[in-house]
Structure 1
Amino acid sequence: MSRDLAARPPEAADIAEAEAFLAAHPEISAFDLVLIDLNGIARGKIVRRHELLAIFRSGRHLPGSILGLDVTGEDVEETGLVWSDGDADRRAWPIPGSLVPLPWTSPPRGEVRLALFELDGTPMAADPRHALARQVNRLESDGFHPILAYELEFYLLDRERTADGNFQPLRLPLSGERPEGIQVYGISELDRLEPFIDAVYRGAEAQGLPVETMISEYAQGQFELTLHHGDALRAADDLAMLKRLLRALALRHGMMASFMAKPFAGRAGSGMHVHASLADAAGNNLFADRDETLAPLLKHAVAGLLETMHESMLVFAPHLNSWRRFSAQSYAPTTPTWGTNNRSVAVRIPAGAPAGRHLEQRAAGIDSNPYLVGATVLAGMRKGILAKADPGPETTAYAETASDDLPPDWRSTIETATRSAFLKDALGERLHHVFLALKRAEYRRFASEVTALERTLYGEIV
């Protein structure tokens, strides 16, 4: 027992948090233990109320192979986390501040988020949250405190598909009608979605999620929610929790929340735009304008993101479907460009008060893992800052020209990521190996499938 207690990592939540929560919520009888895997999928188990304090006191064993699963939940032996590792247990510990009620459950349940550690208390290298924590620590050792905020684009869909198996937009709860036309920024669509929107805001408040603006986006049934900026780790936690909240509430309102990057051909894809800045120890924004011009530190960070974008694309676009999002005049960047107040570029400097200046990385899709995205964005920023790199001239019009600086497709970006020393350093060598093994296995799954389109095109012709 003493050995177990000595192995408690300093990052683990204090047992006083659990004691206070149990006292405040006598109605909660069970808890979801949630770990986010490399594909951004929530995995874990449900435990009874009486088990919670022991988990906060001593952690909970989970197999390391939980981080070696593909999107279908199957083991990928090439990760080195399954049979070659003896399917060995690690120990999961609660993340501070993550113990919250689940407002959609009846009878009431709670949730606690977990991070995985080795039995000796060191971070389990394949846990994506630790990759982000390591990049935060690196920047803090340089005197910078990273601030992040994520935007979340998603589709609300009818749970019933069309006769040919395709998705179809939701029926708006108050009218029973499907949205027609794009109606970007439409207020009527939001008004007719009011019961769901109200549930989202009430649920976010119950879980302490800093959810702000909701927007009707650039396709029927597509919406956007923004999260208030904050500490980099907490920002990624909030994004992961918000996706879980949206999925659960959509189900209970007869809809499906989809976080595919491109659920419809010919309609807008869904991004995970990352807003980033750096503060000093007193909380002052180091990206704030200097003498009415962009701060040199901000431009160095932009340059680092542009330089590393080619090698980072597997993190930003991790699945086959992710690559359908990138096309000309689609608001998804196709070139490593930057600009001020320009939504066609990969790295945008939004308009706004000079004191609140920050950058926005626009390449990541909503199907990507927020911890891996955050880690890669911070690593790219840091590389540019340390080198005092110059981003070159900004793009003032639409960034339309195709570029050889980005991989052309999913397979090419897997090969690029495999060779990337930058990505190996950004994620950590072990996580880089596991992530690549998962992506190769996923690619092989698609490559071996004969699709309906292939049968149509080639069945009687060739």
Structure 2
Amino acid sequence: MSSAMKNYLRKHPEVRTIRVAAADLNGQPRGKRVPSRFADKVVEDGTRFPMSVLNLDIWGEDIDNSPLVFETGDADGVLKPTERGFVPMPWLEAPTALLPIWMFREDGRPYEGDPRQTLKTVLDRFKEKGLTPVVAVELEFFLIDDSGRNLQVPISPRSIKRRKAAETMSIRALDSFDSFFTDLYDACEAMDIPADTAISEAGLGQFEINLMHGDDALRAADDAWLFKLLVKGLARRHGFAASFMAKPYEDYAGSGLHTHFSVVDKNGANIFDDGGPRGTALMRHAVAGCMNAMHDCALIFAPHQNSFDRMVPGAHAPSGICWAYENRTAAIRIPSGSSAARRIEHRVAGGDVNPYLMLAAILGAALNGIEDGVEPPEPITGNAYALELPRIPTTWGEAIDAFENSTIVPRIFSAELIRNLVSTKRQELFYMAELSPNEQVEIYLDTV
């Protein structure tokens, strides 16, 4: 792999600098800028920075009283390139390449507080059983003019007009920003991100792009993480902002990040496919596992103060814990269609999540259900928002408590990650309370 990485730079002599970056708990890229003539050393030996860097708050500050800081002398982790290798960064003016990295301890063991390592641990559990998740994600985001005091839809470069209305499934809305989407698809191709269909959504300037399904969930998380960096960076080149924050506009639906997944056995057969519309017992066990973990894992699906503005009844975001066949009001939907493609759609997460932690939570919970052989309640029919159902936590503080005190969460996440995430979110909860709603939006707009 290292020779392929070195060859990338030799084939692209125009690249003068590289970035090496890992995802922290909030999904923020943390790393270094390196002149390309020193890149071979990074490829061969990796790089180093403190383990605490993957455990910073949303402002990039150390966590108060974290054992990763003063208690251990702020010890370094060793960061090595992932199997992804170099990808271009088309949102920058100068030709630049990004080398995704992940963290290990000095003795070579994976660092348990690294979100990517967390997902890898869950996938290893599947592998031990001869199973492989097949995953696809749908990402919703807003294009925003944030140049004034209030957020609003950008002026269309084509019509030179600002349309202040939701335009669900509107071709006109897509065409209004055709130059942005053309550049975005070109950039996805250059970065090998499998971007598929784009649609306009129900919010002001809101769009959704689907990433194609594949049998490498770690790569799917990489794709989602890189896609978020790309969309936000490229929008700035076009003169406006893009944001995956859960709820930028009070009166319009927020942004979700929906996950579709099935599981195949060692022969490549979909273990959810019973040849008909209902799906197998194993599918129902996976549904039950996801439902059982949904309350306690709400902090993963709604990690920020703003996340909970999205999760209100009737706002196209699930608030009750339930499942259904072909019903988008349910938290878990079983789409119709060919039985060979029978799958689960998990609809709870907001666009502001860390994709690595989100997939770890969903797939880890599904595997718990498969291992335990648990049955879900009966699927609902009709409008889930109108039913009396067990509820996902409605406040950030409640979600933090549920995650910290859960008996289910430790089956999915390491004690190190649980401690780090809880400490991070308690610190953010404290300091966010000092900010006005506008100041909170300003923080989240560019970060998540």
Mark the CA change 1:242 to 1:292 in structure 2 (over 3 Å): closer, same or farther.
closer
Letter in 2 for 1:439: K
Which protein is bigger by CA-based radius of gyration?
1
2:140·2:255 contact (CA, 8 Å) conserved in 1? yes
Counterpart residue number, 1:58: 45
Counterpart residue number, 1:187: 171
Distance 2:285 2:345 in 1: 14
Counterpart residue number, 1:398: 383
1:369-412 CA distance string (max 9 Å, x none) = 11111111111101111121111211121101354443231111
Match of residue 211, structure 2, among 209, 227, 236: 227
1:236·1:371 contact (CA, 8 Å) conserved in 2? yes
2:136·2:261 contact (CA, 8 Å) conserved in 1? yes
Summarize the alignment of residues 127-138 of structure 1 with structure 2, pairs less than 5 Å apart: 127-138=114-125
SS in 1 for 2:370: helix
Counterpart residue number, 2:152: 168
Counterpart residue number, 2:234: 249
Match of residue 416, structure 2, among 422, 430, 435: 430
2:16·2:95 contact (CA, 8 Å) conserved in 1? yes
Summarize the alignment of residues 26-425 of structure 1 with structure 2, pairs less than 5 Å apart: 26-161=13-148, 165-230=149-214, 231-400=216-385, 401=387, 403-425=389-411
Counterpart residue number, 1:4: none
Return the offset for 1:450: 6.4
Distance 1:100 1:109 in 2: 9
Distance 1:258 1:101 in 2: 21
1:442 equivalent to 2:428? Answer yes
1:159·1:255 contact (CA, 8 Å) conserved in 2? yes
1:350-379 CA distance string (max 9 Å, x none) = 122111111011111111111111111111
1:24 equivalent to 2:11? Answer yes
Distance 2:342 2:119 in 1: 23
Distance 1:43 1:215 in 2: 31
1:408-439 CA distance string (max 9 Å, x none) = 31111111111012212312110110000000
Distance 1:434 1:135 in 2: 18
Letter in 1 for 2:52: S
SS in 2 for 1:27: coil
Distance 1:85 1:402 in 2: 49
Distance 2:306 2:411 in 1: 26
1:212·1:228 contact (CA, 8 Å) conserved in 2? yes
Distance 2:292 2:109 in 1: 32
Return the offset for 1:349: 0.7
1:80·1:434 contact (CA, 8 Å) conserved in 2? no
Letter in 1 for 2:166: I
Question: Identical aligned pairs, as a percentage?
Answer: 37
SS in 2 for 1:83: coil
Distance 1:18 1:131 in 2: 24
Letter in 2 for 1:257: A
Distance 2:351 2:384 in 1: 22
Distance 1:18 1:249 in 2: 24
1:102·1:110 contact (CA, 8 Å) conserved in 2? yes
Distance 1:224 1:245 in 2: 14
Letter in 2 for 1:56: V
Return the offset for 1:154: 0.5
Letter in 2 for 1:50: R
Counterpart residue number, 2:445: none
Number of aligned positions between the proteins: 437
Distance 2:81 2:121 in 1: 18
SS in 1 for 2:248: coil
1:305·1:381 contact (CA, 8 Å) conserved in 2? yes
1:33·1:112 contact (CA, 8 Å) conserved in 2? yes
CA RMSD of aligned residues (A): 1.5
SS in 2 for 1:85: coil
Letter in 2 for 1:147: V
Distance 2:378 2:388 in 1: 18
Return the offset for 1:23: 2.4
2:322·2:389 contact (CA, 8 Å) conserved in 1? no
Structure 1 window deviating more from structure 2 (187-196 vs 22-31): it is 22-31
Structure 1 window deviating more from structure 2 (393-402 vs 335-344): it is 393-402
2:22·2:101 contact (CA, 8 Å) conserved in 1? yes
Return the offset for 1:142: 1.3
1:19-70 CA distance string (max 9 Å, x none) = 2212221111111111111011112111011121111111101111111210
SS in 2 for 1:104: coil
Question: Any stretches of 5+ residues in structure 2 without a counterpart?
Answer: 440-448
Return the offset for 1:449: 4.2
Mark the CA change 1:292 to 1:225 in structure 2 (over 3 Å): closer, same or farther.
closer
Structure 1 window deviating more from structure 2 (208-217 vs 396-405): it is 396-405
